[in-house]
Amino acid sequence: MESKNIKKIDLASDIAKGTGLSVTDAAEIVDLFFNILSDGIAESKEVKIMGLGTFTVKHKNARVGRNPKTGEDAIIEERNVISFRPAKNLKTSLN
């Protein structure tokens, strides 16, 4: 099975074909959507998109890790990470 990455321009092209908009207008819509999604995650720490899933921000505490090449201990600083939990219907459509 061949793996294909979907780029923003691919999304814009598909939106343009489906709606009759120009690719430029569709690209602006895609950019706007991703900006809204990013801002929503940053502000509320959780964004739910029905039928797709939930994006949440999780806090990870500092810990001691290990450099796999040298075996040396290294401190991994505390940080926030984005987590995605797919919606039930998305999970079932994959199987």
Question: How confident is the model at residue 65, as a pLDDT?
Answer: 93
**CA-to-CA distance for 24 and 45, rounded, in angstroms?**
31
For the entire predicted model, the pTM comes to 0.73
Mean pLDDT of 17-39: 94
Please give the residue that has the higher pLDDT: either 3 or 47. 47
Higher local confidence (pLDDT), 4 or 28: 28
Residues whose CB is less than 8 angstroms from the CB of residue 58 and which lie 6 or more positions away in sequence, other chains included: 80, 81, 82, 83
Cα distances from 64 to residues 74, 76, 95, in angstroms, run 6, 6, 37
pLDDT tens figures, 32-87: 999 999 999 998 888 999 999 999 999 999 999 998 999 999 999 999 999 999 99
E strand or H helix at 56: strand 53-60
Domains of the chain: 1-44 (no CATH), 45-95 (4.10.520.10)
C-alpha 30/C-alpha 28 separation (Å) is: 5
Split at pLDDT 50, 70, 90, the class of 2 is low
